[in-house]
Structure formats: structure tokens, C-alpha cells
Amino acid sequence: MTFVLQETLRLKKRYGQHVIVSPGVIKAIVKHANVREGETIVEIGPGTGNLTVELLNTPLKKLHLIELDEEMIQTLKKRIADERVEFHHADATKFDFCKLGDSVKLLGNLPYNVASLIIENTVFHKECIPFALYMIQKEVAERLIKGGSWLSIFLRTFYSIEYIMSVPARFFKPPPKVQSSLIKLTRDEKAKVEGLKNYKAFLVKLYSMKRKAIKSKISQDLLKKAGINPMARVEELSLEKILFLYECL
């Protein structure tokens, strides 16, 4: 399905293209990004550039745009001519953000179909990302904050999450079927975790078959060592308990 925005541009559903058309929402995002002089900013999925244009009114030093849709980039290049901008035709779910600097701020109205993967990739590059501001599906935002998924634990181990605001579908074009939320991630490492890949694998295993008692996934010896009831379900465990269990491994 496509949606005609201008005569020349069709928005593509497969790329999760829902552009923000509310100046108020765009201003709010830029305000919460709190861009200071000399900062390097990375915008994920700039799309038609509505947010990009507003970002360029801040004292940022460099703005990297990561966009997967080549056609979108060509359109964007016609709209944006600023020497602080660098275009990257790339996939934000796999992009190595650390090659852009040792401290970069990420933000964007994310493509909702891959928002979780982009958040995961953010955590994998946490060394160079002290801050991220993402528009995502409201339901996903709530689940990340409440817990109840491996990604929520993975994210909250290294970042604190602040719920900034809900954004109704009518502020996007075309309006998505879901409500949206803006969330702010601030790096705040609750533990020194060695080996992120192992940690992810551990959490994925822990959160598989959520209804099963934890003893079906983790050895009884280890649970005893960590002082965890073997009959507990993973959702009953706090972040601290999970971290302690991982340390006991």
C-alpha cells in the first residue's frame, strides 16, 4: 500500500513510513533532544525530513541521517542542503553507530516494524550512545517500561527509560493503526555485564515460555546459589535478581 504525500513521493508501508506532520510534536521532540553546541546527532529514518529541518535549527555540529529507502534519500537531498548533514543509505537495525563518534545522540520517529531491533542495536552500541529519543508504538513503549520481555530487561540493564508523551495517530501521515509514544533513554548502567551477546542469549532463554517455572530453564543448583525460588516465573523476578542470577552463572 502506498500513500501519496506529494505528487512525486509515495510513502511505503513496508518501510513503516508514517511521517510526523504536527509542528507541535516535532518541536516537542527537538526540545526533549536538548541539543547542545558541538553535539553529534544521529537521526534514524529521517523520511521526508520534517524533523530533520527542525533539528538543523539547533547548534549541533554534525547530523547523520540513517535512511534505508534510497528514493527517500534522493527526495531528502533536494530538501536539505546543509554542510553539517551526512546521509547514510543504511539499515539502522545493523548500523555501527560507534563509527560516527565516541559520543552520539540518537533520535528518530522509528519505523515501527523494526523498532525493537533498532533498540536492540542501540544497546549493542551503548559505549558511544549516552542518550536516545525514540518515537515508537505506544504498546511497545509500555512493555519496555513495565518489563515482561527479554528486551525490556536488556535495555533497562543499561539505560533508564523515561516516558515523555503519547502521540495520537492523527499527527502522522498516513495515520498508523496504533498510538505512538515518545521515550527517552539515558545511559545508566546497573551492572558491568561482560559479553553482551551472552547476556542477550541468557535473557532470551529466561523469557522463552514465560509461563513455565524458572527451574525448567535454569539449573536448580544455580537458582539455589542465587536464592531464587525454582517455582517462580520469570516475570516475578526483579531486574536486580536477574542480574544477580547472571553473575552467578
- Binding-site ranges for ligand SAH (CB under 6 A): 15-20, 44-48, 50-51, 66-69, 72, 91-93, 108-109, 111, 114
Tell me how many degrees the CA angle 46-141-186 measures, rounded to the nearest 5.
75
Which CA distances in Å does 126 have to 83, 94, 142, 213, 228? 27, 14, 22, 32, 29
Nearest to ligand SAH of 136, 161 (CB atom): 136
Nearest to ligand SAH of 41, 51 (CB atom): 51
- Which residue is listed with cell 516516558? 163
CA dihedral 212, 215, 219, 224 (to 10 degrees): 140
Nearest to ligand SAH of 90, 248 (CB atom): 90
Instruction: Tell me the residue nearest to ligand SAH as measured from the CB.
Output: 45
Task: For the CB of residue 109, give the shortest distance to ligand SAH in the complex, in Å.
Answer: 4
Task: For the CB of residue 68, give the shortest distance to ligand SAH in the complex, in Å.
Answer: 4
SS3 sequence, the chain? CEEECCCCCEEEHHHCCCEECCHHHHHHHHHHHCCCCCCEEEEECCCCCHHHHHHCCCCCCEEEEEECCHHHHHHHHHHCCCCCEEEEECCCCCCCHHHHCCCCEEEEECCHHHHHHHHHHHHHCHHHCCEEEEEEEHHHHHHHHHCCCHHHHHHHHHEEEEEEEEECHHHEECCCCCCEEEEEEEECCCCCCCCHHHHHHHHHHHHCCCCCEHHHCCCHHHHHHHCCCCCCEHHHCCHHHHHHHHHHC
Nearest to ligand SAH of 97, 158 (CB atom): 97
Task: For the CB of residue 129, give the shortest distance to ligand SAH in the complex, in Å.
Answer: 16
Nearest to ligand SAH of 85, 111 (CB atom): 111
Task: For the CB of residue 16, give the shortest distance to ligand SAH in the complex, in Å.
Answer: 5
Nearest to ligand SAH of 14, 212 (CB atom): 14
Nearest to ligand SAH of 18, 126 (CB atom): 18
Task: For the CB of residue 243, give the shortest distance to ligand SAH in the complex, in Å.
Answer: 30
Task: For the CB of residue 49, give the shortest distance to ligand SAH in the complex, in Å.
Answer: 7
Task: For the CB of residue 170, give the shortest distance to ligand SAH in the complex, in Å.
Answer: 14
